[in-house]
Homo-oligomer: A and B are copies of this chain.
Amino acid sequence: MNVILEYYIDKVMKMSVPLYQYIKEQLIEIIQDQAANTPVQSERNLAMEFRASRMTVRRAINELVDEGYLYRDANKGTFVSDQSLLKRNTLVNSDTYSYKTLYFDVKINTENPMRKKLNARADEAVIHLFRTIKEDELPIGVEEIYIKRSELSDADFANVSKTKKVMDLLGTGTSHYTFTPELVPAKYASLLALRIGTPIIVTECLINTIQGRPLAYLRTYNNPENRVIEITS
């Protein structure tokens, strides 16, 4: 009741978070200290407790299931998932990384092969960015970035060299990663503090708008000693 009161205060004060969103947050709060496989209340009970319809509660629960917090067992109930491996992706998760831009430019009429990947005409402006990635002073990787100028707002363009995740500049869309094993290039070995001949993983990422227009191309040389690439799904 306290719970639902809180929500309606928000609502009245025009914060106006959707109810299902509010219920999600409350459920996360409730389960976050619970052991895996703990049952959550039934949908009908939660609906009463939050003074919401069952469909609204279901929406909240469904999204938590999709996000890996809960799982359903038909005819039995809904339970807390094992969260020891919560969905994560070290390629995108950059909260603790620091970046140093070593090169920044906007080029027109260059012969760079990346233009083809971006499907950019010869006279289109393309942003070039080269930066190092560190975590606690340890070199994590070096990154070459190419972004189509025409896809960025002026505000985003002004921030581009400060941006951590290029994804954040762009709305929803698709990203396509490829992973290639290489020996560390001589020109990057010292930046990565790796010996010549060390095998590394190079990740390439092409980011498209949901409409199918290429937006950005990233090429990252990852230091295998300091950055373990991992993906949980």
Q: Which residues of A contact B (CB under 8 A)?
A: 36-37, 55, 66, 68, 71, 81-82, 84-85, 87, 172, 174-183, 198-201, 208-212, 224, 228-233
Whether the Cβ atoms of B176 and A210 lie closer than 8 Å is no
- Chain B nearest CB from A52 CB (Å) reads 15
Q: How many Å lie between the Cα of A85 and that of B213 in the bound state?
A: 11
Q: How many Å lie between the Cα of A228 and that of B204 in the bound state?
A: 12
- Chain B nearest CB from A219 CB (Å) reads 14
Copies of this chain, whole number: 2
5 A-B contact pairs sorted by A residue (CB < 8 Å): A82-B209, A82-B210, A87-B174, A175-B232, A175-B233
**Cross-chain contact of A199 among B84, B175, B199, B230 (Cβ < 8 A):** B199
B residues near A68, Cβ cutoff 8 Å? 174
- Chain B nearest CB from A82 CB (Å) reads 3
- Chain B nearest CB from A192 CB (Å) reads 12
- Chain B nearest CB from A229 CB (Å) reads 4
Closest 9 CB pairs of A and B: A82-B212, A199-B199, A181-B199, A179-B229, A71-B210, A178-B230, A36-B212, A176-B232, A181-B201
B residues near A230, Cβ cutoff 8 Å? 176-179
**Cross-chain contact of A181 among B66, B174, B200 (Cβ < 8 A):** B200
Whether the Cβ atoms of B36 and A211 lie closer than 8 Å is yes
Contacts A37-B211, A199-B199, A208-B85; A181 near B181 (Cβ below 8 A): yes
Q: How many Å lie between the Cα of A87 and that of B233 in the bound state?
A: 13
Whether the Cβ atoms of A180 and B228 lie closer than 8 Å is yes
Select from chain B the residue with minimum beta-carbon distance to A212: B82
Select from chain B the residue with minimum beta-carbon distance to A174: B85
Q: How many Å lie between the Cα of A232 and that of B233 in the bound state?
A: 13
Whether the Cβ atoms of B229 and A81 lie closer than 8 Å is no
Whether the Cβ atoms of A224 and B180 lie closer than 8 Å is yes
Contacts A36-B211, A174-B233, A177-B230 given; 7 further ones with Cβ under 8 A? A71-B210, A82-B211, A82-B212, A180-B224, A181-B199, A181-B200, A199-B199
